[in-house]
Amino acid sequence: MFLVKSVVCFLAIISTAIFAATPIANYKFDESAYLDIDGEVTDSISALNGQARFSESTVGKVCKAIDLTRVGVDDFVELPNDVLEDKDAFSISTWFKTSKTGEQAILSLSLIHI
């Protein structure tokens, strides 16, 4: 499980193999609503769709965004394990905004295997 927290407008995951960088996934968070259902957070590259938890759509600086502060503690986006499966090297790029001043996770990787 791969978790994203905060207000996010864009998230891209790129495999950084020795010879070429290849995009793996691109999440624009441009859905008009989030209903906490599987597959609602759309990946525009590989169909590695995720699920928003306790989140809502909002206006971003350049595009729509996902607000992960609605509940304040349990708001997150869950991405499928396949996003990083068998990846030894990768880069993650994101645009986010937060007003939090305490500890918080922007990205979290769970190593739980079911």
What tens digit of pLDDT does each residue of 41-74 get? 999 999 999 999 888 888 887 778 888 887 666 7
CB 70 within 8 A of CB 32: no
Task: Tell me what the pLDDT averaged over the chain comes to.
Answer: 78
d(CA 53, CA 3): 10
CB 13 within 8 A of CB 24: yes
Is 93's pLDDT higher than 50? Answer: yes
Q: Who wins on pLDDT, 53 or 103?
A: 53
For the entire predicted model, the pTM comes to: 0.75
End-to-end Cα, the chain, rounded Å: 10
Question: Which DSSP symbol is given to 29?
Answer: -
